[in-house]
């Protein structure tokens, strides 16, 4: 089944070339199935890249998925305003809507205190809104740190050096629905200057650390209802995403190490091994199927408030 997006969204042609099943809104209107309503609150600077990465993963199931792209009240310097005006909605435009699921992305603002981020107050409104108008929410990287801070008071800490590379993770709770079908270990990229720590999360009785890395630390956290998920890594990243970040920083003259366990033989001239693709697709398929589709009320007006 397809993902439903505007046919003039840049991601549409990219997904079509990859033979990923996407259909335009007008064709979906004539189909007699209620699609899952998913909103992506995109905080990343290059929004076109991030939305394409996430849409690719959300399209890989037999479920109809109807997407709303949401922006904060913040001028994006890396995405054309024409794109933002054509495809994105403000939070004010969607805050009366109800959604099966919401994804809140990361943002390159980790070294700021949360309250120093210029859209922090609006993002807090979004966090609060997910408790009443959304069945299940995924928070990614800085979005996960911000969500854990807002909902549970979990602090973040600045790292001595950037957590940057492709890390092996192990699963602490294999019964967790989000990681259904996973093997004992999996890979996922991390790219961040800050961290949350397991000892702080373990103090919160409502939270469970589902997966972690010996090198990168906590990765997957969920609440006891399995409706709020916090992912400290970037499963959505493409093969070349870390490479682009690395070469960008090198060209800026920044002191950046080669991404860990990413380029074969540690040589930036080699093509990175894309060994997190399977787990990324399985995780998002699990979220849509087991955590959202099989649990969300057919009538979204019957959503129960999430108690946090």
Catalytic residue numbers? Answer: 141, 234, 236
Say whether 169 sits in a helix, a strand or coil: strand
**Terminal C-alpha separation, the chain:** 34
DSSP 30: T
Please tell me the distance from the alpha carbon of residue 4 to that of residue 82, in angstroms, as a whole number.
Answer: 21
- Cα–Cα distance measured from residue 261 to residue 242, given in angstroms and rounded to the nearest whole number: 11
CA distance 237 to 138: 15
Q: Which residue from 228, 238, 231 is spatially nearest to 216, judged by alpha carbons? A: 231
d(CA 195, CA 156): 5
Q: Are 166 and 189 in contact (CB under 8 A)?
A: yes
Helix/strand/coil for 88 = strand
State the Cα angle at 288 between 10 and 22, rounded to 5°: 30
In contact, 202 and 223? CB cutoff 8 Å: no
Angle at 110 between CA 247 and CA 239, to 5 degrees: 35
Supply 6's token pair.
């505007």
**DSSP conformation class of 177:** G
């Amino acid at each position: 089944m397809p993902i439903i997006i505007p046919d003039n969204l840049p991601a549409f042609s990219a997904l079509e070339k990859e033979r990923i099943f996407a259909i335009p809104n007008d064709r979906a209107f004539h189909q007699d199935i209620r699609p899952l309503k998913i909103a992506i609150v995109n905080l990343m600077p290059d929004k076109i890249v991030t939305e394409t990465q996430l849409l690719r993963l959300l399209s890989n199931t037999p479920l109809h998925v109807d997407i709303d792209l949401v922006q904060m009240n913040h001028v994006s310097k890396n995405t054309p305003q024409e794109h933002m005006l054509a495809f994105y909605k403000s939070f004010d435009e969607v805050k009366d809507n109800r959604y099966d699921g919401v994804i809140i992305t990361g943002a390159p603002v980790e070294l700021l205190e949360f309250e120093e981020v210029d859209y922090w107050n609006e993002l807090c409104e979004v966090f609060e809104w997910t408790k009443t108008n959304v069945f299940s929410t995924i928070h990614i990287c800085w979005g996960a740190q911000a969500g854990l801070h807002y909902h549970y008071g979990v602090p973040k800490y600045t790292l001595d050096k950037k957590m940057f590379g492709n890390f092996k993770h192990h699963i602490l709770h294999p019964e967790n629905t989000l990681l259904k079908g996973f093997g004992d270990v999996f890979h996922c990229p991390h790219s961040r200057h800050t961290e949350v720590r397991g000892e702080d999360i373990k103090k919160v009785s409502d939270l469970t650390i589902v997966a972690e890395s010996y090198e990168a630390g906590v990765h997957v956290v969920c609440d006891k209802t399995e409706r709020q998920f916090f992912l400290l890594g970037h499963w959505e990243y493409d093969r070349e995403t870390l490479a682009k970040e690395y070469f960008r920083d090198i060209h800026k003259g920044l002191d950046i190490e080669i991404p860990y366990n990413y380029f074969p033989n540690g040589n930036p001239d080699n093509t990175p091994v894309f060994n997190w693709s399977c787990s990324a697709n399985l995780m998002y398929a699990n979220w849509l199927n087991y955590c959202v589709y099989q649990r969300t009320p057919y009538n979204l007006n019957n959503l129960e408030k999430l108690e946090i």
